[in-house]
Structure 1
Amino acid sequence: MIYLYTVGLLLFVMVAWVVVQAAANRFAHHHPEFGTARRMGEGCCGKCTGDTCENEHKH
């Protein structure tokens, strides 16, 4: 029975994450003044100057 609870919890977390991403994209679409919604692993590495990124050499 614990197995079913665990699988259900994992499915709930994954669906919740998709819902949060959709809400963030919807908010970004309705409020373009804040820019686009950033996805995990994309965008600035935190140490960007101009168009370069010191960490991964991509921007």
Structure 2
Amino acid sequence: MNDYLIAMGATFTLMIGWLLVQFIAREFTRRHPEFGAFREEGGGCGKSCMCSKGGSCKKAK
């Protein structure tokens, strides 16, 4: 039972930690626009449109 509670606590802590990292990155980008836009994970070309294997992506406007 203790292992189950520890695993749940660790999972919850990691998820909250990742949300905190994303928040800090967005705030840094907002304060320092000279470094470019914050790129969300999985938001770029090559993740789901198969353009990394010879396919093509539609460019966002």
Q: TM-score range by the shorter chain?
A: 0.7 to 0.9
Instruction: Give the TM-score, by structure 2 length.
Output: 0.74
- Give the match for residue 58 of structure 1: 58
Moved over 2 A (4+): none
Alignment RMSD? 2.0
Identity %: 37
Distance 1:31 1:44, change over 3 A: farther
Q: Per chain length, whose mean CA-contact separation is higher, i.e. which structure has more relative contact order (CA < 8 Å, sep 6+)?
A: 1
Q: Decide which structure has greater strand share.
A: 1
Q: Decide which structure has greater helix share.
A: 2
Q: How many residues were matched structurally?
A: 52
Instruction: Give the TM-score, by structure 1 length.
Output: 0.76
The unaligned stretches of length 5 or more in structure 2 are: none
Query: Which segment is superposed worse, 18-27 or 33-42?
Result: 33-42
The unaligned stretches of length 5 or more in structure 1 are: 46-53
